[in-house]
Structure 1
Amino acid sequence: MAEIDVKGFTVDGKKIKRIEIDRDTCIGAASCAALAPEAFQLDDENIAIITDPVSDDAQTILLAAQSCPVDAISLYDEHGNKLWPEA
């Protein structure tokens, strides 16, 4: 599991504090990197990695996470509550 804490930015009034990528779930579809190329890239194993999470706006980060066909990207607020994917 790769994760990164971010300074926090809001989506629908909720602050995104942490982004996680489940490396075992990621299939390398690259939809996240296509939508938010500054924040996500694929590594040498064609698995998504977080490069610069504050370079793209919060809505773009959310869309990138939502675009993942296997929900490998999780977003959390400052209290540790999962914002995406919805439980």
Structure 2
Amino acid sequence: MANEKEYARTKAGSNISKIVVDRDLCIAAVSCIAVADAMYQLDDESKVVVTDANAVDDETLIMSAESCPTKAIHLFDKAGNKIFPK
């Protein structure tokens, strides 16, 4: 079973309601932090954690997930459908 951490997103008008970080896939490339530093930071294990799931707009959130070389950030809509990666 994957070592995943889920974060709820409640930003008004957002189509994304859940962010999941697969900690086993995270290699601390910090590309997500480069795109959305208001949202992420590295923890003491050098794994990305979401510090504020509502800090950025949907476009920036998607770009941050797409920037991850290992696709460790998964995004879901309100119906539970995976938006990224497909």
Q: TM-score, normalised by structure 2?
A: 0.90
Match of 1:22 in 2: 22
Answering whether residue 20 of structure 2 is matched by residue 3 of structure 1, we say: no
Cα drift, residue 40 of structure 1? 1.0
Cα drift, residue 68 of structure 1? 0.2
Cα drift, residue 44 of structure 1? 1.1
Number of residue pairs the alignment of both structures matches: 82
SS in 2 for 1:4: strand
The share of aligned pairs that are identical, in percent, is 41
Cα drift, residue 28 of structure 1? 0.6
Match of 1:42 in 2: 42
Paired letter, 1:51:
T
Q: Is the 8 A contact 1:38 1:53 kept in 2?
A: no
**Stretches of structure 1 lacking an aligned partner (at least 5 in a row):** none
Match of 1:58 in 2: 58
**Structure with more of its chain in strand, by fraction:** 1
Q: Is the 8 A contact 1:4 1:19 kept in 2?
A: yes
Q: TM-score, normalised by structure 1?
A: 0.89
Please, what is the CA RMSD of the aligned residues? Answer: 1.0
Distance 1:38 1:3 in 2: 18
SS in 1 for 2:9: strand
Cα drift, residue 64 of structure 1? 0.3
Distance 1:7 1:54 in 2: 7
Q: Return structure 1 stretches of 4+ with deviation > 4 angstroms.
A: none
